[in-house]
Amino acid sequence: MSKVNSIEELKQKCAEKNMPLEKMRFFIGKDMKEPKCFGVYQDETTGDWIVYKNKANGERAVRYSGPDEARAAQEIWDKIGDEIRLRKERYGNPYEESAYRSAEPKEPSILPGTPMSSLAVIANFIREHIALSVFVFGLAAYLILQVIFPSQKRGYYQVGDAIYYCLSDSWYLYDDGWVVSTMPEGNVNDYYLGSSYSQSYGTSNFENTPYYEKYLEEKEDNDNDDDYDYDFDTWDAGDTDWDSDW
């Protein structure tokens, strides 16, 4: 599961995934009283964050109550992920399946032996060869672009006496510590030292910097956010176990 640090960030992530929260029975920032819903809100009297589930009989189970907003937001975000995973395991992802079906080639409706059947065979032959030609052309264009505009490798570079580090097209320069910089001029591949740190570079290990830690966190978040992709039009709140405490 990816991470959230606040209620606003939680709302943003839900919006990015186009989640119909009310249909899903999740209420962010609301103290709902009706049965069959999850929610998180801040108590106006104590200032504490309350994460709750109202069960089918209306009884409330409190998952978290305390001052930690990040924890409260994470509890709900993780629960949304659990509910999505439950439906994926039960039904698969309808969004992915519908996309796959729409990409499947359509068979010609002309039956063999009809006057048009030979034309259908010819049309299929031409279509298949055009598709193959487009694929080959696209692959060739990609390889040519890689030669003309090679992507920068992650790792250390040396330009004169200066040591640089490249990370996801972002550049850093070592100047008594790593600082944000710009890409060196010229063919940077000529300056490449390698991806692994060596004391001979006369720098500290870039992987021990906050820049690298943030990169790993964002990468993990982006990877795990895919777990929340779903065709929410098919969502049935009745699939949730509303009798359990959480």
In the sheet with 162-167, reading across from the earlier edge strand, the strands are: 178-181, 170-174, 162-167, 155-159, 192-194
Residue 123 lies in a domain: yes
Are 165 and 199 in the same domain? yes
Give me the pLDDT at residue 52, please: 98
Domain of residue 47: give its range: 7-98
Residue 87 lies in a domain: yes
Write out pLDDT tens, residues 16-64: 999 999 999 999 999 999 999 999 999 999 999 999 999 999 999 999 9
Residue 222 lies in a domain: no
Q: Classify residue 76 by burial, with Cβ atoms within 10 Å: 0-12, 13-18, 19+.
A: buried
Residue 185 lies in a domain: yes
Are 70 and 87 in the same domain? yes
Q: Give me the number of domains the chain comprises.
A: 3
Are 16 and 70 in the same domain? yes
Give the global pTM: 0.54
Are 37 and 92 in the same domain? yes
Are 11 and 54 in the same domain? yes
Mean pLDDT, the chain, rounded, equals 83
Residue 17 lies in a domain: yes
Residue 230 and residue 19: Cα distance in Å, rounded? 9
Write out pLDDT tens, residues 16-29: 999 999 999 999 99
Are 81 and 17 in the same domain? yes
CA–CA distances in Å: residue 218 to residues 36, 74, 214: 34, 16, 6
Residue 221 lies in a domain: no
Specify the 3-state DSSP secondary structure of 129. Answer: helix
- The set of residues, in sequence order, having a beta carbon less than 8 Å from that of 37 and lying 6+ positions away, is 25, 26, 27, 53, 54
Are 90 and 63 in the same domain? yes
Residue 113 lies in a domain: yes
Give me the pLDDT at residue 127, please: 62
- For the chain, 246 residues long, give each residue's pLDDT as a single digit of tens: 578 899 999 999 999 999 999 999 999 999 999 999 999 999 999 999 999 999 999 999 999 999 999 999 999 999 999 999 999 998 876 555 444 444 444 444 444 554 555 665 666 666 666 756 666 666 565 455 444 444 578 899 999 999 999 998 899 999 999 999 999 988 888 999 988 899 999 999 999 999 999 888 877 766 677 889 999 999 999 999 999 999
